[in-house]
Amino acid sequence: MGEAASFRSLLIELFGRLTNGVVCRGAGRRMRWGMLAGVLAGSLLVTNAGRLQAQTDCLGCHDNAEMQDASGHSVAVDGKTFNKSIHGTMKCNDCHQNIKEYPHPAQVAKVDCKGCHADEAQGLAGSVHADSKEHPCTSCHGSAHSIFPKADSRSAVYPLNIPNTCGKCHSNQGMAQKHGLASVYPKYMDSIHGFALSKEGLLVAANCQSCHGSHHILSRKDPASPTNRVNIPKTCGSCHAKINDDYMGGSHGKQMAAGNVKAPVCTDCHTAHEILHPTESAFRMQSTPICGSCHKDKLSTYRDTFHSQLGSLGGYVETARCWDCHGAHEILPASDPKSPVNKANLIKTCGACHAGANASFVQYQPHANAHDRKLNPALYYVRTFMNVLLASVLTFFMIHTLLWLIRARYNQIKEKKTVGGDHE
């Protein structure tokens, strides 16, 4: 009651000052403005004082932290927090519409947020969270009495808090387990995005909402979803604009733009939630098999090279991987003059690792195929000769060993007969 009275006193004083100021001036035009200001002030007096009065009356009981309803559920409201929240200027029965007096009705109507938030409710209705029983508004925004603007660090949907808010369901113990979904929260938190957000505090780092949206969240199988593979480059490109431009100018992006939905997109190489920094050893070690999942023929020939064997046998992460030579995003065919593996650019490309590389040095074939006689005839015949030589040598020694064994056994039998005849 004290807060309502003080607010009314303040508005009355403001109203008096406005009207007195206008009377003293005596100007007709200013008089009209003063009267308008007085009417507005009076309206505020009636509206806000009424709201504060209603809040004060309700909080007289509900401000008790131990207050519960007949079912044992808490119906307590922290008055100080509520007054500071985004709903703090509203009357209690703006939301609790069938509670207009005390005692309250036996059946209290469920609060319907769409009365004020129609656009959000419409988006939610067609989303994967459409089941309001499992995903009411408060499951993401928190208690209706303590909702703060999304730019406020106390808000459950503040960028730094969004992963934890979504993680309440999308973790091992949440709705993900109930509905057979992947537990993505711990994966995200260990990723470069999660690290930037939680450890570095970078509000611009991608969070769940950045990729999936907020209310109209769709399944990745839906063509309209920002996480549908056709839309992935655009979604990632909203933050990584330069990389997206490079990707769309490369072979992969051009294939996707042409309608080839099987063309690689960002998530095929970087994954969706476990995104690592490209300089990390774990990413470098797994990058070649990722490329090889599509380019199987190139992977097999790469594994025969010094680059691959040095990397796999010794775990040397600095050895050349696919994207060190071909580029990471603007991947172009060798026939393109801008491609780093074009003949005109090989000295520069190889020279990035091998200082002093020259025209002779770049004759090295990183994908030489000993099985292809047309592409690599010399290598093909050398391999054939070596295989024939190896097979011949092994065959010769196998026959030699077999004959030696037969002769040795024959001599043993012959010797036993000779010794037996001497005893007789």
Whether pLDDT at 26 is above 60: no
Taking the model in full, what pTM does it have?
0.72
Tell me, yes or no, whether 299 and 343 share the same domain: yes
Where is the domain boundary, 368, 391, 406? 368
Lowest mean pLDDT: which of 5-14, 243-252, 366-375, 405-414? Answer: 5-14
Q: Are 176 and 182 in contact (CB under 8 A)?
A: yes
Q: Are 229 and 265 in contact (CB under 8 A)?
A: yes
Q: How confident is the model at residue 420 (pLDDT cuts 50, 70, 90)?
A: low
Asked, for residue 131, whether it belongs to a domain, the answer is: no
Asked, for residue 122, whether it belongs to a domain, the answer is: no
Whether pLDDT at 350 is above 70: yes
* 60-103 residue pLDDT tens: 889 888 998 888 889 999 999 999 999 999 989 899 988 888 88
% of the chain residues with pLDDT over 90: 49
Rounded Cα–Cα distance for residues 306 and 365 (Å)? 11
Q: Is 131 helix (H, G, I), strand (E, B) or coil?
A: coil
Tell me, yes or no, whether 210 and 228 share the same domain: no
Where is the domain boundary, 194, 215, 236? 215
Rounded Cα–Cα distance for residues 18 and 38 (Å)? 7
Q: How confident is the model at residue 347 (pLDDT cuts 50, 70, 90)?
A: very high
Tell me, yes or no, whether 6 and 57 share the same domain: yes
Residue spans of alpha helices (H) in 148-277: 162-167, 175-178, 185-189, 192-198, 208-212, 232-237, 241-249, 251-257, 266-270
* 146-199 residue pLDDT tens: 999 999 999 999 999 999 999 988 987 767 778 888 889 999 999 999 999 999
Place of tokens 């100080």: 80
Asked, for residue 286, whether it belongs to a domain, the answer is: no
Rounded Cα–Cα distance for residues 150 and 152 (Å)? 5
Residue 214 confidence (pLDDT): 93
Tell me, yes or no, whether 377 and 364 share the same domain: no
Residue 344 confidence (pLDDT): 93
Q: Are 206 and 215 in contact (CB under 8 A)?
A: no
Residue spans of alpha helices (H) in 27-147: 28-62, 79-84, 92-95, 118-125, 138-141
Let me know if 201 is exposed, middle or buried by CB neighbors in 10 A (0-12, 13-18, 19+).
Answer: exposed
Lowest mean pLDDT: which of 124-133, 202-211, 254-263, 384-393? Answer: 124-133
Tell me, yes or no, whether 86 and 33 share the same domain: yes
Total domains in the chain come to: 5
Using alpha carbons only, how large is the chain's radius of gyration in Å?
38
Tell me, yes or no, whether 335 and 304 share the same domain: yes
Let me know if 83 is exposed, middle or buried by CB neighbors in 10 A (0-12, 13-18, 19+).
Answer: middle
Asked, for residue 419, whether it belongs to a domain, the answer is: no
Tell me, yes or no, whether 264 and 346 share the same domain: no
Tell me, yes or no, whether 239 and 327 share the same domain: no
Q: How confident is the model at residue 298 (pLDDT cuts 50, 70, 90)?
A: confident
Phi, psi of 69 (to 5 degrees): -90, -175
Tell me, yes or no, whether 407 and 327 share the same domain: no
Residue 314 confidence (pLDDT): 64
Where is the domain boundary, 168, 197, 215? 215
Phi, psi of 68 (to 5 degrees): -135, 160
Asked, for residue 106, whether it belongs to a domain, the answer is: no
Q: In Å, what is the CA distance from 125 to each residue of 15, 135, 218, 223, 286?
A: 46, 11, 11, 17, 40
Tell me, yes or no, whether 5 and 42 share the same domain: yes
Instruction: Considering only residues 387 and 416, tell me which one the structure prediction assigns the higher pLDDT.
Output: 387
* 387-408 residue pLDDT tens: 999 999 999 999 999 999 999 9
Asked, for residue 121, whether it belongs to a domain, the answer is: no
Place of tokens 């730019």: 151
Range of the domain at 163: 154-215
Asked, for residue 117, whether it belongs to a domain, the answer is: no
Sequence letter at residue 268: D
Distant-in-sequence, close-in-space partners of 283: CB < 8 Å, separation ≥ 6: 276, 277
Lowest mean pLDDT: which of 194-198, 247-251, 373-377? Answer: 373-377
Tell me, yes or no, whether 363 and 382 share the same domain: no
Please write down the long-range contacts of 382-391, taking CB distance under 8 Å and 24 or more positions apart: none
Asked, for residue 136, whether it belongs to a domain, the answer is: no
Angle of helix 2-25 versus helix 28-62 axis, rounded to 10: 180
Lowest mean pLDDT: which of 11-15, 137-141, 320-324, 345-349? Answer: 11-15
Rounded Cα–Cα distance for residues 324 and 317 (Å)? 12
Q: How confident is the model at residue 4 (pLDDT cuts 50, 70, 90)?
A: very low
Tell me, yes or no, whether 352 and 300 share the same domain: yes
Work out the mean pLDDT of the chain and round it to a whole number: 84
